Structure formats: structure tokens, C-alpha cells
Amino acid sequence: MIVVNGNEYPFKEGVSLLSILKEHNKSLFKEAIVAKEDDKLIDLSTLVSDGVNYTVFTAESPEGLETIRHSAAHIMAQAVKTLLPEAKVTIGPVIENGFFYDFDVENPFTPEQIQKIEKEMKKHVQANYEFHRTVMSRDEAVKHFEALGEIYKVEIIKELPEDQNITFYKQGDFIDLCRGPHIPFSGRLKAFKLLNAAGAYWRGDEKNRMLQRIYGTAFSTKEELDQYLNFLEEAKKRDHRKLGKELDLFSFQKEGVGFVFWHPKGMTLRNQLIQFWRDLHEESGYVEINTPIILNKELWIKSGHYANYKENMYFTQIDEMEHAVKPMNCPGCMLFYNTSLHSYREFPIRVAELGLVHRHERSGTLHGLMRVRQFTQDDAHIFMLPSQITTEIKGVVNLIETIFKKLGFSDVNVEISTRPAKFIGNIEDWDTAEAALKQALDELNYNYEINEGDGAFYGPKIDFSIKDSLNRRWQCSTIQLDFALPERFDCTYIGEDGKKHRPIMIHRAIYGSIERLIGILIEEYAGKFPLWLAPVQMKIIPVSSEKHLEYSQEVYKRLKNSKFRVELDDRGEKLGYKIREAQLSKVPYMLIIGDQEVENQTVAVRHREHGDLGSMSLFDFFEKLSSEL
């Protein structure tokens, strides 16, 4: 007997799992995608073994969906080879929410070609080809793909052990190197869509040939696919790169790839976030420092960055000595701490720094504000006694909560990462630190998950991720306990016993990266920033640039003197055109001034979301703004 999803079926020698389902469970047979034998995923074409328990997954399961997407990549490669026989295939893995496949072709894929490839895929789906698994020796596989001219497959195969048998999957006349498993028939790919194409280097190495990558997605039902495509459309509208240009916030230039050029309105937004951060940190007992961007190589050797992070750093020569542009702020803060002697009575010492850091990211990984080569990190380092760990952790968590709430994020996920296999320090300190992190979150009634063994080598940490309006998670804030740097930099304090002791140190960042946070906020608000953050809070629009200009200028001056961020549109354009432009620039308020407003010394207030709010005096409008702020 065999057991499938809890049901017993008679065992037959040389019979596949799919055949068993076809004979004994036709409804599951029609929906089955992949199976599991013990802990191993297998094809449904696998021959059954007596006395084994099998779990069969349908398209709705994570296992089934991943298999569908994997098979979709193969069907896409088959379609490309049908339309472009000269194309060379490389690899096609599953990724989050979809799949891709890289091809070596003469010219980049056009949108029209992508549509043709998708249409060809539908033909292969309708043909309902069986996915047939076969095995070759390494030498057989090399000869097979050399005969086909598939140089990339040959390269991959030659890297495998000589005595290894290699699995392949064939559907129709297309065969591909693959471990599997796959869907039983191509017809079980029900809902898919090709999304776009982009360049990608072979094996991600800029020294290799540029390939063309086609991205696609697949779901178990058309309804799920449509829902995801609608999500992509909404995400496209909110893309911070697009809105950043439209709202004149920032730009990127070819003269500095990966480096942000902040425009005046972007600087206003950035400065609002910085001022908010500074006010809260001052209230919370932090002192602010600023350390140099460039420091000599010996410092980075001492901190461990030179050995572990050198490939991501920029270097320069000064006075015939090698220096590094800092990728992190921590070593500079250690030097600051050691500029004076410290007593236990001073603790905790909370030191904050908005430090400009540089990291060499590969050009292919750069993505607007989300991944850049220069960014401002809102670092802070807290030096404390062992008895103060829990209290200080709670203080940082409360600060993070305050900032997230102000920014409009209420769904926060919290994880504690514990001691990894490779660590420094002693286990007793690690146990104390991990217990302190858990105690702090327990006392604050936080729900959290434990990531066993995922802490940094120098200490355990708490990570905070936020969910945006498109249900995407972003990891921003982190709190890390560090045993390494105080030791490496010989940081000490004089304890109650008059002897030198080593302080405990917290690394923490809340924004993480100001650049990345602004990118997240642009997409979260779709450019419609709340009043306190909006680069321009209101626009004054006179109906007539002649008749109503004098009073409009008076209103402008009064608002400006009251420290509001205001613009006056005194162009000789039609009123409807100016209102429409203000709406496109996503300004929170428009103040329309015509004959009635001049006569009554009022303003006609229009809100970007709620439309016409009627006329009101400047005093009443100020009261409304103050209440909202």
C-alpha cells in the first residue's frame, strides 16, 4: 500500500504517482502539480514505492505555485527558441512573485517581441506537452548541448563532478538542464504574464557578456494574476523614480552613477525628516557628533572592515598613505569615545550621527533611492553598563515606535536574531544580551519572532520592518548589541571599584538610510505627502494675475512670515490650467483668490483630496493648519 494525502491506495510495481491518482482519485489528478516523498519534492511521474507516504500539492499551495513558475520559465525558453532558434539559453530560476530566464540574443527584446513570445507560450500550453525527466552522464550531456550550440549549458555542465549523472526535462522538442521538479503537463500552466525585459550580465559579472532577461509571473488562477497585475500598475504609478522626477525632488546624472542629486524641493523634504529626527533625539538625551568621511586604512584594519568589507569600499591616497571613504560610521564614533576618560556615572552615553557613507554597489544592483552608492545613515551608538541594557533597548524601541507612527506606519514586524555559529565574545555575555533584548520587548508587550543563529558575529540584534500601503515589507530600523568594537578599540570606563571596565555598546539606526526612507515615503504616499512633510504646503492662485495679484502677494507674505512653505502662481494662465497643475504637483492646499476673496479679505480653500472647502479668513485657515500639523 501507499498513502497519498492520508488516503491508502494499492501499490503497483512500476506505476507513477500520477497514474495512481488517475485511477483512484480523479479530482486530485486533475489539480495535482507536484508531490513530496518524505521531505523531498518530486515529479508526479515518479514511480511509487511500497509503504511510502506521499503528499500531493495543488496550484494553491506554495509548493505548487513555485513549481508552476519554474515550469513557466522552461515554457518561456521553449517559446523563445521557437521564435528565435539562434538564441542561446542560460538559466531561468523562480524569484519572488514570478520567474525570469536569461538569453544570449543579438538585440534586446522589444515589447512587441515580448508579446509574441507570450502568444507562443500559450500555444505550448495548449499543446499540453508532458514534462519528461531524463538522465544523462556528464559526457553525454556535454556532447548533447555542444551539438545544439548551447555554450552556456556546456559551461554549467563542465563545472559539475565528472561522475555525476545529470537530470534534464523535455517538453515537446525543447530540452533543458534542470534538477526539477516540474508540472506534469504544460497545460497546467493556467495564468501567466510576461512583464518586461532587461539586461543582465552572465553570472552577474560585469566582465562577462550582457544577456537579455525576460521577467514573467504566474499564478494558480486568473483572478490572482489580475490582482497582481493591478498591484504592479499601482506600484508603477507610485514608483519613486517616476514621482521624484515629476515632483522635481531629485535626479541621477551619468556623471555620478548611483549618487543622488537633491533638488530644492527634495532638500526641503529631506530637511523636514532630519529636523524631526534631531528634535526627538535631543528630547531623548542624545548628543550629536559628526566624524570625517575619509579616514586612514589602519583604522579600517583595526575595525575589521578592511578584512571583511574591502570590496565594497572606496580608497584614495593622501600624503602617500592609503585612506578609505567610510562605509559605516561606527569606527569614527569609537575614536570620539576614546578622546576622554569616562566614569560609570556618565552612563548611558547616547551619541547620534547623521553620517554620510559610501559603499561600492554594482551598477546592476542600483535602484533609484532604494540602493545608492552614497547615503546618509542615522546612526547612534549607546555606551552603557550591563545593568542598563534593558532600559536602553526599551528607550530605542519607544523612539522607533514614535517615528514610525508619525510617518504613518502602524504595521511593524519585529524579529530578534540570536547567536550565530561563528561569533566573538563569550557565551555568558551572549546569553545575557539575548535575554535583555527579549525582556525589553516583553515589558513593552511587543510580539516578536526569533531568528535562531541569524545575529551578527559581534552580537544579537532586533530588526524592525514596516508594511507600506501596497503590503510590501521594508526593513529599516535595527538595534544591535556589540562586543567587538569596544574590545578592538580598547574602550573603557572607570567603575565603582576604581578599576577599568569594558562598556556594553548598542548600534542602532531608525531611518536606516534617509535616501531609502524618502523613496519608501514617496511610494507610500504616492507623492501626496502629509502637510508637515510636503515640500510645498500650499499654492496661492489668483483668478486674475492683474486684478487679484496685490492681495495674493499680501496673503503670500503673511503665510511665508508664519513659516509655511508656500508658492504664488502669478502666471497669466487660465484658472483651470493652474488648478490642474497644482493638483498634479500634489500640493495639499490651494488658495484661490478672486473678487469675493479680495473684497472680504478671505481665501477660497481647496484641498487636494477633499476638493472645495469654502471661503475662510486667514486666521481660520491658520487655525486649521495648526490643528492639522
pLDDT at 564: 94
Looking from the CA of 305 toward its CB, the CA atoms found within 13 Å total: 23
Tell me, yes or no, whether 48 and 71 share the same domain: no
| Residue 108, amino acid | P
Tell me, yes or no, whether 199 and 279 share the same domain: no
Which of 328, 356, 379 represents a domain boundary (last residue)? Answer: 328
pLDDT at 482: 85
Query: What are the backbone angles phi and psi of residue 175, rounded to the nearest 5°?
Result: -125, 140
- β 53-58/2-4 pair status: parallel
pLDDT at 456: 81
Position 252 in a domain: no
The one catalytic residue in 69, 113, 212, 330 is: 330
pLDDT at 241: 95
Tell me, yes or no, whether 19 and 91 share the same domain: no
Say whether 381 is catalytic: yes
pLDDT at 28: 93
The Cα–Cα gap between 542 and 168 comes to 72
The one catalytic residue in 461, 508, 539, 606 is: 461
Tell me, yes or no, whether 336 and 479 share the same domain: yes
Tell me, yes or no, whether 483 and 578 share the same domain: no
Tell me, yes or no, whether 6 and 103 share the same domain: no
Tell me, yes or no, whether 473 and 569 share the same domain: no
Say whether 461 is catalytic: yes
Q: Which residues of the chain have pLDDT under 50?
A: none
pLDDT at 427: 87
21-51: burial string, b at 16+ Cβ within 10 Å, e else: beeebeebbebbbbbebeeebbbbbbebeee
Tell me, yes or no, whether 506 and 399 share the same domain: yes
The one catalytic residue in 188, 213, 350, 359 is: 359
Q: What is the DSSP letter of 133?
A: E
- Domain hosting 171: range is 63-238
Closest by Cα among 227, 170, 226, 219 to 191: 219
| Helix, strand or coil, per DSSP, at residue 331 | helix
Contact 181, 67 (CB under 8 A): yes
In this prediction the pTM is: 0.81
The Cα–Cα gap between 136 and 574 comes to 74
Contact 38, 85 (CB under 8 A): no
Say whether 476 is catalytic: no
**256 Cβ partners below 8 Å, 6+ apart?**
none
Position 255 in a domain: no
**350, containing H or E segment:** strand 349-358
Say whether 507 is catalytic: yes
Say whether 212 is catalytic: no
Please provide the size of the chain in residues.
Answer: 629
Q: DSSP states of 234-275 as a string?
A: HHHHH-HHHHHHHTT-EEE-GGGTT-EEE-HHHHHHHHHHHH
Tell me, yes or no, whether 89 and 183 share the same domain: yes
The Cα–Cα gap between 542 and 262 comes to 30
CA torsion through residues 11, 12, 18, 19, sign: negative
Tell me, yes or no, whether 335 and 224 share the same domain: no
Tell me, yes or no, whether 44 and 123 share the same domain: no
Count the domains in the chain. 5
Which of 482, 502, 525 represents a domain boundary (last residue)? Answer: 525
Query: What are the backbone angles phi and psi of residue 149, rounded to the nearest 5°?
Result: 80, 15
Distance of CA 537 to the CA centre of its chain: 29
